[in-house]
Amino acid sequence: MLDRLQKNSQSALLVILAVTLAVLFGTQFGPRQGCSSEDFKGVPYIAKVYGRTIAQQDFQSVARIVRLNDNRTGPMRRAIVDGLIERELLAHEGERMGLRVTEAELNDEIRGGYYFVSLGSQQLPQLMGYGRVESSRRFAIYSNDESRNPNDPPPAFRLEDFERWVAGVYSRTITDYKNFMARELLAERVRTIVTSSVRPSVDEVWRDYERNHTQVSVRYLRFSPDFYRLTVRDDDPTLVQAFAASHQDEINRQWEQRRESLRDLPAQVRLRHILLRFPDDAQDPAKLAIRQRADEIRRRIATGAEPWIRMARLYSQDSEHWKDGGETSWVTADRVDLPDDVKRALTALSPGQMSEVIQSPLGVHIVQLVGRRQGTVTEADGKAEIARELFRLTRGNELANEAATGGQRRLGEAGATLDTVSAALAQEALEAFYRGPVPAAETLAGDNPLAPETRTDVGAPEVRETQPFTQNASFPGVSSGDALVSASFALTAERPSPAAPITVGDERFILRLKDGGLQRASRTDFDGERIRLMDEFVSARRREAILQFIARLRARAERDQQLRMGTSPLLQEPRRESAEGATSGGAAPSAPAARPSAPAPAPAPAPAN
């Protein structure tokens, strides 16, 4: 039977030789009209790798073997394309290493019922049931004996069965199939070389188990510059001017970046706003009481008894601007988002002037005009505004760092706890934010209560607690918190807090190990599952090794311009057209239904060990 396989290969060589001679003869001696080599440049293909063309038929053959007709069409199509490219990259590397696949070796694989199919190493773990990344070797039953039970041993190899299987499943000639499989087998040998070098020790697997099963839970304080910038006293011109004098270069750079955007501006305003809302069912007596509170707030601002920013933060119910003391950014005058009566009152104000209390269906309002501008902003005004913004930004970062450093120092004092330190820091931060202590509720004339709004999102530091997490996890609630994870796992009962705050971006954190918050991995539990854990660890590391190896091969081929994607419509993602999943545009053929003469393999044959 193998003689026939070998004769097929020899016949194919004769055919290839004859075709090559015919092409050479036609090129040298034939007429110039008709087809030329240029005519074949438009033939669609999948890719070219180191001079080898991956044809559309290669894609279609793999599509048939994996039955590309289910709801994993997108990922599987990408897996087929990447797998074909990776096969050629690996096979090329195998040739460079001096590896070869002999006719006898290929025939042995065929007689044993084995075939190879490479799928993209990145997509394969997501496609459950299609085998491990490090193996492309699979098993098929060539015959279609309906009386055979699944657990029966494989039938003896018959060339007729094999030929029908190749024709039905791959839709290729025996010669084409063998050439295809030779490349696959060469690529598989390179995979074996790469993965066989992964030989972890028991101690290495234990350390990985320890990282994944040791858990820690911490309590912490978070110091956000976004909050501390709100406490900066940028209304003192001497402080801003002193800052500007020492930061001229940065101010000049920002002015150059912004100056074009500050030319030919439409009429704009900047304002402050305090709102006391009417309840939905408020009647006239309730509205009158709310207006009386607004009158008192305005009186305190007008007489200088209280600053505007303090009154807005304590009492305003403008959810968008209360944190900023009711102040808005520059806004086009005709797009001010306020009731019409309030906007009309605003047009009559001069910069720095405050309105009377204005009633609208929403509630009662007090507005103050901060400034107007139109046309081109002068360099002096533009730089003054930039200086104010930079001062608030820089000083806010400094205040957050000072608060965190001071809190860490207090935590080291005798008798101090994270809760007592947090309480002291929060009181200081809130007094800076509100420009004084938060007052108790008071009663105005007519038994009318005036109470500060209850705020839950001010942003002052407060104690928080994490759920238990592992060393391979992220710090709960914090993005890019690797430094916090490392610091948390360095804590012990003897040293429950780091010596200094942990910096993450612009933020600072004080950590404290929760009582009983360190739960170490059990060596006894590890030993009881060691065989399974070793196997999982080896599989994961082999997968990682082959992924990295293929990534290097691909990067090298792209760098050397030895990998070029083709123009085949099969590279396009199918377009969904209906809820039933109809697609269009370059769909690959699905595997044929099983038939007596050419049975298809199972959709997901397991890799052979």
What distance, in Å, lies between the first and last C-alpha atoms of the chain?
26
Residue listed under structure tokens 């009711």: 326
What are 10-31's pLDDT values in tens digits?
A: 444 444 444 443 433 333 333 3
Q: Is-contact 221 128, C-beta < 8 A?
A: no
- Low-confidence winner among 91-105, 122-136, 278-292 (lowest mean pLDDT): 122-136
- Low-confidence winner among 32-36, 374-378, 525-529 (lowest mean pLDDT): 32-36
CA distance 297 to 309: 11
The CATH topology of domain 227-450 is: Chitinase A; domain 3 (3.10.50)
DSSP letters for 406-454 = HHHHHHTSTT--HHHHHHHHHHHHHHHHHTSPPPPPEEETTTEEE-PPP
pLDDT at 399: 96
What are 52-81's pLDDT values in tens digits?
A: 999 999 999 998 888 776 555 778 889 899
pLDDT classification of 334: cutoffs 50, 70, 90: confident
Q: Rounded mean pLDDT of 148-164?
A: 86
Q: Identify which of 406, 385, 388, 408 has the alpha carbon closest to the alpha carbon of residue 396.
A: 388
Instruction: Give the distance from CA 328 to its chain's centroid.
Output: 33
Q: Identify which of 397, 458, 432, 469 has the alpha carbon closest to the alpha carbon of residue 220.
A: 469
pLDDT at 122: 84
State the pTM of this model.
0.67
Q: Rounded mean pLDDT of 357-362?
A: 95
What are 383-439's pLDDT values in tens digits?
A: 999 999 999 999 999 999 999 999 999 999 999 999 999 999 999 999 999 999 999
pLDDT at 572: 77
pLDDT at 15: 40
* Structural domain spans, the chain: 1-40, 42-199+539-584, 215-224+454-524, 227-450
CA distance 312 to 450: 13
Is 42-199+539-584 a domain of CATH 1.10.4030? yes
pLDDT at 330: 95
